[in-house]
């Protein structure tokens, strides 16, 4: 069943068609990867989903409801969370504090609650419990008291993912989560994304350039090039599509790419 639908989604910046009549579906409970060369429109599509950009034409629907005119805050409140290409942590705060900040939209007490003794303490305890649950899943609990600046790059990436998860969204959008990771960290990321999907039951949409990661995690792949969708389907079929290989990697790597494991 589709949880997120694109219907001829388009956004133009002057004469540039950053996303051009893209139609596709994101299946509930699945992992979908969006790939394509730099400038293909991948992050722009995420910005359209989350309300950072507004559609020029077309529609985007979450559970049948159009989100095309909603603010980022309203989209997030519906159950769509995201990470960004650039790490956005508070370096002087601990890992736990960084994650707890992201829970405020779910746990903010009602106005009258401020007059009830212990309200804020209970809220804070709930926030901490939610944060620790995510820390355990992403193998970050031993680092909960560390300042974000003391973590490795791969660990900081995982904290970013934890911040998206702690609001308990239905869909998690991960924008190039393996960027800057070494081989070991990328392998660990494959495991963590699978756990987010299977253990937490989250629908995951990933923008990714690491083909090894894409191949291991994807139930479905959407390929963009110059703002247009050029392929859409199950992982193996799309990855072996000559048009995809030509657009993404070039003619010279067609054979090599087809045999990547």
pLDDT at 67: 98
Q: What pLDDT, on a 0 to 100 scale, did the predictor assign at position 253?
A: 47
Q: What is the pLDDT of residue 125?
A: 75
Cβ–Cβ contacts within 10 Å for residue 71, how many? Answer: 12
What's the pLDDT score for residue 100?
A: 86
- At 144, give phi and psi (nearest 5°): -60, -35
Query: pTM for the full model?
Result: 0.88
pLDDT given for residue 128 in this prediction: 76
Question: pLDDT, tens digit, for every residue of 173-194?
Answer: 999 999 999 999 999 999 999 9
Q: Tell me what pLDDT residue 108 has.
A: 54
Task: Kindly tell me if the per-residue pLDDT of 11 is higher than 60.
Answer: yes
Give every CB contact of residue 203 below 8 A, 6+ residues apart in sequence. 3, 4, 26, 27, 28, 29, 30, 31, 32, 170, 171, 172, 197
CA distance 36 to 3: 23
259 has a pLDDT exceeding 60: no
pLDDT at 103: 72
Q: Is the pLDDT of residue 258 over 60?
A: no
- Say if CB 69 and CB 54 are below 8 A apart: yes
Averaged pLDDT, 98-125: 64
Average pLDDT, the chain: 88
Give the tens place of pLDDT for each residue, 135-175.
999 999 999 999 999 999 999 999 999 999 998 999 999 99
CATH superfamily of 1-79+169-261: P-loop containing nucleotide triphosphate hydrolases (3.40.50.300)
Q: Which of 6-10, 90-94, 100-104 has the highest mean pLDDT?
A: 6-10
Please compute the mean of the pLDDT values over residues 106-116 and round it to a whole number: 53
Instruction: Kindly state the percentage of the chain with pLDDT values over 90.
Output: 72
- Write down the pLDDT at residue 131: 82
Beta-sheet strands, E only, within the chain:
2-13, 16-27, 31-35, 57-62, 65-66, 80-82, 171-175, 203-207, 220-225, 228-234
Give start-end residues of each CATH 3.40.50.300 domain in the chain. Answer: 1-79+169-261
Residue 90 in this model has a pLDDT that exceeds 80: yes
């Amino acid at each position: 069943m589709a949880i997120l639908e694109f219907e001829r989604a388009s956004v133009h910046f002057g004469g540039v068609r950053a996303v051009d009549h893209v139609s596709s579906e994101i299946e509930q409970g699945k992992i979908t990867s969006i790939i394509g060369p730099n400038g293909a429109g991948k992050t722009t599509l995420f910005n359209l989903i989350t309300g950072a950009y507004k559609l020029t034409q077309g529609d985007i629907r979450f559970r049948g409801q159009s989100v095309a005119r909603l603010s980022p805050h309203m989209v997030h409140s519906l159950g769509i969370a995201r990470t960004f290409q650039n790490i956005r942590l508070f370096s002087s705060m601990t890992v736990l504090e960084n994650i707890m900040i992201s829970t405020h939209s779910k746990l903010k007490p009602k106005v009258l609650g401020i007059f009830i003794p212990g309200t804020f303490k209970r809220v804070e305890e709930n926030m901490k419990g939610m944060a620790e649950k995510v820390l355990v899943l992403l193998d970050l609990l031993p680092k909960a008291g560390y300042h974000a600046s003391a973590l490795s790059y791969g660990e900081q990436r995982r904290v970013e993912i934890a911040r998206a998860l702690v609001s308990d969204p239905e869909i998690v959008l991960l924008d190039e989560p393996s960027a800057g990771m070494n081989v070991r960290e990328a392998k660990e990321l494959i495991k963590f994304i699978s756990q987010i999907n299977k253990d937490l039951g989250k629908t995951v949409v990933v923008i990714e350039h690491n083909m090894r990661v894409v191949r291991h995690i994807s139930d479905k792949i959407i390929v963009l090039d110059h703002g247009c969708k050029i392929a859409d389907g199950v992982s193996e079929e799309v990855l072996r599509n000559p048009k995809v290989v030509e657009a993404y990697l070039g003619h010279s790597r067609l054979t090599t790419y087809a045999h990547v494991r």
